[in-house]
Chain A
Amino acid sequence: GAVVSQHPSWVICKSGTSVKIECRSLDFQATTMFWYRQFPKQSLMLMATSNEGSKATYEQGVEKDKFLINHASLTLSTLTVTSAHPEDSSFYICSARPRRRGDHTEAFFGQGTRLTVV
């Protein structure tokens, strides 16, 4: 199956610094990638939809200036948490849906990134 690789798997940063998380589709092209945030024991909350070559579409309540998304190529999207604060500590997950013939429309998820802001 398709593989989505997310890096790093965990990161600890100081309050006020910025952190970049990468999401790569390893064996398919992804014109669209999705970024989620997941709090402990909760479901996935969509933060934004990343579109290759254009601006990301953010969900209501998500600060676009704080969570910068760049979809520079058909295989790479990045999420940068700017001026991170302890409340930004969470599990961030990306996903992508390959575009194929037939009915293969499943979404593949990255391994997730555990961000801890101290």
Chain B
Amino acid sequence: QQQVKQSPQSLIVQKGGISIINCAYENTAFDYFPWYQQFPGKGPALLIAIRPDVSEKKEGRFTISFNKSAKQFSLHIMDSQPGDSATYFCAASRRDNYGQNFVFGPGTRLSVLP
């Protein structure tokens, strides 16, 4: 129940295209869903996050879509750029538990071709 599933494992997109990464969770106690971007040799950096009381959140070219009934959420990267090439991790946690770890998905390696 603690797992977060993520797909695809890897993704290749042409410059200007849309990158879509999907995640699914089981634990209904989760109420905070961030996406992290990680470049090789660096720690993960928060990209965007959503709470289950909204179905969509957009920040620039990045959009999270959230389906509470299906327990799924996805990251859309519009107008993908070569600089977006990185590994993306979805995660889940509870907002009110600062001492609790995040549960991470296995990651998606995105390559944006110039």
Residues of A within 8 A of B (CB): 1, 4, 6, 31-32, 34, 41-44, 46, 49, 51, 91, 93, 95, 97-99, 103, 105-112, 114
A103 touches B95 (CB 8 A): yes
A43 touches B99 (CB 8 A): no
A/B interface sample: 29 pairs, CB < 8 A: A1-B46, A34-B101, A43-B89, A43-B106, A43-B107, A44-B104, A46-B101, A49-B101, A51-B99, A93-B43, A93-B44, A95-B44, A95-B102, A97-B98, A98-B98, A103-B32, A103-B51, A105-B32, A105-B95, A105-B96, A106-B46, A106-B49, A107-B34, A107-B46, A107-B91, A109-B43, A109-B44, A110-B43, A111-B43
B46 touches A99 (CB 8 A): no
Chain B residues with Cβ below 8 Å from A46 are 101
Chain B residues with Cβ below 8 Å from A112 are 41-43
Question: In whole angstroms, what is the CA distance A110 to B106 when docked?
Answer: 19
B34 touches A44 (CB 8 A): no
Chain A residues with Cβ below 8 Å from B34 are 106-107
Residues of B within 8 A of A (CB): 32, 34, 36, 41-46, 49, 51, 89, 91, 93, 95-96, 98-99, 101-102, 104-107, 109
Chain A residues with Cβ below 8 Å from B105 are 43
Q: Which of B32, B45, B102 has most chain A Cβ within 10 Å?
A: B102
Chain B residues with Cβ below 8 Å from A1 are 46
Question: In whole angstroms, what is the CA distance A114 to B42 when docked?
Answer: 9
Task: Choose among B41, B93, B98, B107 the residue that contacts A42 (Cβ–Cβ < 8 A).
Answer: B107
Question: In whole angstroms, what is the CA distance A105 to B46 when docked?
Answer: 11
> How close is A110's CB to chain B, nearest CB, in angstroms?
5
B106 touches A42 (CB 8 A): yes
> How close is B51's CB to chain A, nearest CB, in angstroms?
7
Known: A42-B106, A44-B89. A6 touches B43 (CB 8 A): yes
Task: Choose among B42, B46, B106, B109 the residue that contacts A111 (Cβ–Cβ < 8 A).
Answer: B42
Question: In whole angstroms, what is the CA distance A8 to B78 when docked?
Answer: 36
Chain A residues with Cβ below 8 Å from B41 are 91, 112, 114
Question: In whole angstroms, what is the CA distance A114 to B40 when docked?
Answer: 11
